[in-house]
Structure 1
Amino acid sequence: MKKFHVLAALIFCMLLSNVVAFAAPGDKLIKLGMRGEDVQMVQKSLLEKGFYVGEIDGVFGNATLKAIRDFQISNGLVADGVVGKETLLYLGRPGSAEGNPSRFGRSLTMSASGYSAYDDGNSNHTYGGNLVRKGLVAVDPGVIPLGTRLFIPGYGYAIADDIGGAIRGDKIDLAFDSHGEAMQFGRQRVTVYIVD
């Protein structure tokens, strides 16, 4: 009988060693030097929350590292620049980073218009050198410094990354991914919350 228990235990151990374990989201650390879909997902979340301005290219470089550290600091997390379970949890929360707009330090009422890379006469790159896309906005740097993180209700989180000849004083241009979206937005009065 003892031989049977020993044999059963041995077979059980052999079977366990052949089991393939699948990692749950956050089980795998996402860090500097990595590439792939996991990094793209992190970059997209950081862009939507107004922390990242680079391309969604799936390459975890210095721009992604800085964005993650800024996001971690903003959420009271350990700012190690590594995306583990806790950072991933916060990245997935709607409105994480700053909570609701009433908690932001300063707000401005501005005249906003939409623009895109596909509008006549526009470049497809911002003044900061990034592709024009939703989440990047043109400002008067004398009013809102370039690099400032913003929140605009109805538009979302954004980064001041562009300037324009007609953008002076209380005017702001909100970038969109298509000409149609920019035209649909048109010109509106918006409240711009300063996140930084």
Structure 2
Amino acid sequence: MGMNGSAVQSVQYMLMDTGYLAGGADGIFGSATEDAVKRFQADYGLDVDGIVGSQTMAALSEASGREAPAEEGVGSYQRRIVMDASAYTADDPGNSGFTATGLRLRRGMVSVDPDVIPLGSQLYIEGYGYATAEDTGGSIVGNRIDLAMDSITEALNFGRREVVVYVL
């Protein structure tokens, strides 16, 4: 939600081709696009989360007959890591609201194990977008990542899942 660009526009064209989205492809992932993705996911037996991850993209590509777009900004990356992801907010109990690097926690910041991803690293996370490794956590060890969300509801809806992380 909130992403924009040619990759989003390609997804919108796929949704239009399959009858899930009407009105055009503006390249902005808003509520109409999210609703279309959720309907598509429900009809195709996928997790209904409104996120165009690798499984949803593969199903959309096959259903529409269009090639899946390359992730924007991911053409050149240092590493690709499959990680176990969870979500958190500045308002979580016991959270100071500040990252390990001293910044106010907000969406686009993530908590990592600095032995796996150094603090300050620029990342692209499928289904989440661009982020910066700004925080650490006691349970964030190895290939675990915690994604900052705007609200507790958004964090709870995200739950826990596998994500693909590109270290840019």
TM over 0.5: yes
Are 1:130 and 2:103 matched, yes or no?
Answer: yes
1:176 CA drift (Å): 0.6
Letter in 2 for 1:141: P
Report matched runs for 1:17-166 at 5 Å: 99-166=72-139
Which runs of no fewer than 5 residues in structure 1 stay unpaired? 1-97
Unaligned runs of 5+ in 2: 1-70
How far 1:130 moved relative to its partner?
0.9
TM-score (norm 2): 0.56
Distance 2:116 2:149 in 1: 22
Specify the alignment match of 1:80 in structure 2. none
Looking at structure 2, the residues matched to 124 and 146 of structure 1 have their Cα atoms a distance apart, in angstroms, of 17
What TM-score results when the alignment is normalised by the length of structure 1? Answer: 0.48
What is the CA distance between 1:105 and its match in structure 2?
Answer: 2.6
Q: Within the alignment, does 1:181 sit opposite 2:150 as a pair?
A: no
Cα displacement string for residues 3-46 of structure 1 (whole angstroms, at most 9, x for unaligned residues)? xxxxxxxxxxxxxxxxxxxxxxxxxxxxxxxxxxxxxxxxxxxx
RMSD: 1.4
- Between Structure 1 and Structure 2, the one with more helix by share is 1
140-149 vs 102-111, greater mean Cα deviation: 102-111
Number of equivalences: 98
Q: Determine which of 129, 136, 145 is the counterpart of 1:172.
A: 145
Identity over the aligned pairs, expressed in percent?
52
Deviation, structure 1 residue 182:
0.8
- In the TM superposition, what whole-angstrom CA distance separates every residue of 1:138-164 from its partner, at most 9, and x where no partner exists? 000011000000000111100000000
CA contact (8 A) 1:113 1:188 kept: yes
Task: Report the counterpart of residue 167 of structure 2 in structure 1.
Answer: 194
